[in-house]
């Protein structure tokens, strides 16, 4: 039985536990993907991105074969494929804990967009993807000299229950890629009773006898990034951290803690799961072991987190894949989803594949291989009065930045 409650304009709709029904994805194999379109854009600076985009039932918008060309340079492949591999939304009172990619499907629940929503842009993939070109502000500035930057973006909106997700990928003219997720819609879980006070925020008048709470929850967005730096083969991964140091530097004794610090690069030779340590400024460098830039350094990209917070779920039982923020695995065509990686979510011939990203880490070499990186972006939503009726858009993102992919600023000839 469904129920409806209006509180100060908040409409909460649910089935049993208060969770709105969504359409379920029926198979997520590549054969079910539709609307494949090539995006080939040259910026005013002369740099260029070329990639294809399509709508897949589970992952929604999928990026394929993304290549970048700097000003006056040659085009190099960066990503073989980029996609959302799961969207886990646990509510802090313990239930529900939906998996929005495999149990519902971002593509299966994609909204048809209007020209007004894609103002100044181009509608793709049966009007479910919007392509835009935007001014992104300063590309660089030195004294009185500067250059404006541009980006080409593609975005898809999906309606899952009360929540509206905006999956957007921005491709900047300097080679940076910024996957972004916008969160809007309406509050999904609203509960009555004083017992819910520790688990959310009060949404009704303080004078009401029975309090009503919007329940806090997390959005854990798992990305699958099949890096093919200058081709699929010969890639490798390093963890990059900043560590305090009391060892003497060329300019200081560094004897007092807090005076000095060192940059540390740690190779990851085998498949691994790693934690994000904000105090160490953790990032990861994915590079080609044979291709170099004009200065002789290996070309690559750095995954740079935009950290909000850390969280782990029921890691000892049903959610082992929630224990870390980063994984690196060797490419396997049957490993495409972070959770629920089994038929009918994947091809029927992949019935023996590991069922989640944690199980995919099994000791294979990723040194000089075709590597896949998995990264989760986390966001805690503590409801506020302003979330009624329609929630203001919140964005969370991370960056894939060129590191030695060029020998200088790629916007300069």
Q: What is the pLDDT of residues 75-110, one digit of tens each?
A: 999 999 999 999 999 999 999 999 999 999 999 999
- Within 10 A of 260 (CB to CB), how many other CB atoms are there? 18
pLDDT at position 25 is 52
Decide if 157 contacts 165 (C-beta within 8 A).
yes
The helix/strand/coil state of 358 is helix
Q: Identify whether 385 is a catalytic site residue.
A: no
pLDDT in tens, 239-259: 999 999 999 999 999 999 999
Q: Which of 68, 91, 100, 165 is catalytic?
A: 100
d(CA 182, CA 164): 8
Report phi then psi at 321, rounded to 5: -75, -5
On whether the CB atoms of residues 190 and 182 are closer than 8 A, the answer is no
pLDDT (average), residues 391-410: 97
pLDDT at residue 26 above 90? no
Could you tell me the strand order of the sheet in which 298-305 lies?
A: 122-124, 129-142, 145-160, 163-172, 177-185, 391-403, 298-305, 283-292, 235-245, 260-267
Q: Kindly state the helix (H) or strand (E) to which residue 375 belongs, with its residue range.
A: strand 371-381
Residue 19 pLDDT more than 80? no
Q: Evaluate whether 267 touches 372 at the Cβ level (below 8 Å).
A: no
300 and 403 in contact (C-beta within 8 Å)?
A: yes
- Closest by alpha carbon to 34, among 92, 112, 140? 112
Residue 72 CB-density burial (10 A; 0-12 exposed, 13-18 middle, 19+ buried): exposed
Domain 34-403 bears CATH identifier 3.30.1330.20? no
Q: pLDDT tier at 2 (50, 70, 90 boundaries)?
A: very low
The answer to whether residue 8 scores a pLDDT higher than 90 is: no
Cα distances (Å, whole numbers) of residue 305 to 86, 308, 330, 376, 400: 18, 9, 22, 9, 9
Say yes or no to pLDDT of 124 above 70: yes
pTM summary value? 0.93
With cut-offs at 50, 70 and 90, classify the pLDDT of residue 412.
confident
pLDDT of the residue at 233:
95
Q: Which residues are bridge partners to 7 per DSSP?
A: 10
Does the structure show a pLDDT above 60 at 196? yes
Q: What is the CA radius of gyration of the chain?
A: 23
Whose structure tokens read 């990305």? 223
17 falls in which pLDDT band (50, 70, 90)? very low
Q: Measure Cα distances from 303 to 161, 223, 285, 376 in Å.
A: 31, 12, 6, 12
Instruction: Give pLDDT, residue 29.
Output: 65
Q: What is the pLDDT of residue 413?
A: 76
pLDDT at 32: 83
Number of C-alpha atoms within 13 angstroms, CB side, residue 168?
23
Query: Is residue 65's pLDDT more than 60?
Result: yes
pLDDT single digits (tens) 305-338: 999 999 999 999 999 999 999 999 999 999 999 9
Q: Are 200 and 215 in contact (CB under 8 A)?
A: yes
Spatial contact of 89 and 63, defined as CB atoms under 8 Å apart: no
- Number of Cβ within 10 Å of residue 381's Cβ equals 22
Average pLDDT (155-176) is: 97
β-pairing, 129-142 vs 122-124, is antiparallel
Cα separation of 134 and 124, whole Å?
17
Question: Has 100 been annotated as catalytic?
Answer: yes
Closest by CA to 399, choosing from 237, 221, 229, 175, is 175
| Mean pLDDT of the residues in the chain | 92
Those residues whose C-beta lies under 8 Å from the C-beta of residue 3, and which sit 6 or more positions away, are 13, 14, 18
Reading the block at residue 385, the tokens are 């009065």
The DSSP-derived string for 288-350 is: EEEEE-TTSPEEEEEEEE--------STTTT-GGGS-SEEEEE--TT---SS--STTSS-GGG
Domain residue limits, the chain: 34-403
Q: Contact, 123 vs 116, CB < 8 A?
A: no
Mean pLDDT of all residues in 280-301: 98
Buried/exposed code over 121-155 (b: 16+ C-beta within 10 A; e: otherwise): bebbbebbbbbbbeebeebeeeeeeebebbbbbbb
The residue whose two tokens read 């972006």 is 377
Active-site option among 68, 163, 213, 301: 163
Per-residue confidence at 6, pLDDT binned at 50, 70, 90?
very low
Average confidence (pLDDT) over 48-66:
97
Q: Is 70 helix (H, G, I), strand (E, B) or coil?
A: coil
CB 332 within 8 A of CB 360: yes
Share of the chain above pLDDT 90, in %: 90
Confidence class for position 352, pLDDT limits 50, 70, 90: very high
Q: Scanning the structure block, which residue is given the tokens 């199980």? A: 359
């Amino acid at each position: 039985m469904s129920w409806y409650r209006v509180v100060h304009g908040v409409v909460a709709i649910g089935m049993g536990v208060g969770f709105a029904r969504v359409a379920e994805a029926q198979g997520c194999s590549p054969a079910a993907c539709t609307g494949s379109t090539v995006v080939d854009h040259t910026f005013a600076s002369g740099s260029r991105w070329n990639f294809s985009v399509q709508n897949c039932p589970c992952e929604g918008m999928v990026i394929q074969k993304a290549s970048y060309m700097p000003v006056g340079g040659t085009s190099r492949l960066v990503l073989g494929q980029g996609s959302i591999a799961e969207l886990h939304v646990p509510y802090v009172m313990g239930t529900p804990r939906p998996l929005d990619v495999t149990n519902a499907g971002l593509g299966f629940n994609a909204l048809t967009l209007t020209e007004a929503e894609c103002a100044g842009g181009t509608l793709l993939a049966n009007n479910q993807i919007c392509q835009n070109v935007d001014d992104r502000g300063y590309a660089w500035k030195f004294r009185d000299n500067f250059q404006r930057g541009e980006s080409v973006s593609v975005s898809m909106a999906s309606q899952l229950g009360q929540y509206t997700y905006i999956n957007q990928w921005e491709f900047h003219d300097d080679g940076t890629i910024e996957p972004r997720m916008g969160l809007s819609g309406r509050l999904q879980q609203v509960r009555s009773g004083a017992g819910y006070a520790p688990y959310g925020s009060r949404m009704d008048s303080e004078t009401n006898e029975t309090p009503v709470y919007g329940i806090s929850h997390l959005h854990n967005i798992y990305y699958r990034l099949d890096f093919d730096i200058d081709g699929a083969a010969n890639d490798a991964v390093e963890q990059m951290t900043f560590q305090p140091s009391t060892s003497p530097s060329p300019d200081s004794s560094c004897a007092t803690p807090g005076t000095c610090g060192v940059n540390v690069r740690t190779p990851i030779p085998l498949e691994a799961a790693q934690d994000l340590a904000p105090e160490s400024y953790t990032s990861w460098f994915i590079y080609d072991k044979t291709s170099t830039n004009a200065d002789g350094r290996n070309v690559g990209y750095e995954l740079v987190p935009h950290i909000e917070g850390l969280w782990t779920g029921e890691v000892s039982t049903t959610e082992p894949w929630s224990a870390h923020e980063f994984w690196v695995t060797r490419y396997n065509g049957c490993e495409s989803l972070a959770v629920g990686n089994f038929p009918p979510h994947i091809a029927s011939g992949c019935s023996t594949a590991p069922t989640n990203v944690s199980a995919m880490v099994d000791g294979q070499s990723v040194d000089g291989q075709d590597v896949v990186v998995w990264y989760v972006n986390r966001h805690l939503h503590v409801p506020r009065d302003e979330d009624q009726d329609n929630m203001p858009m919140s964005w969370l993102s991370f960056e894939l930045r060129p590191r030695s992919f060029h020998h200088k600023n790629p916007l300069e000839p």
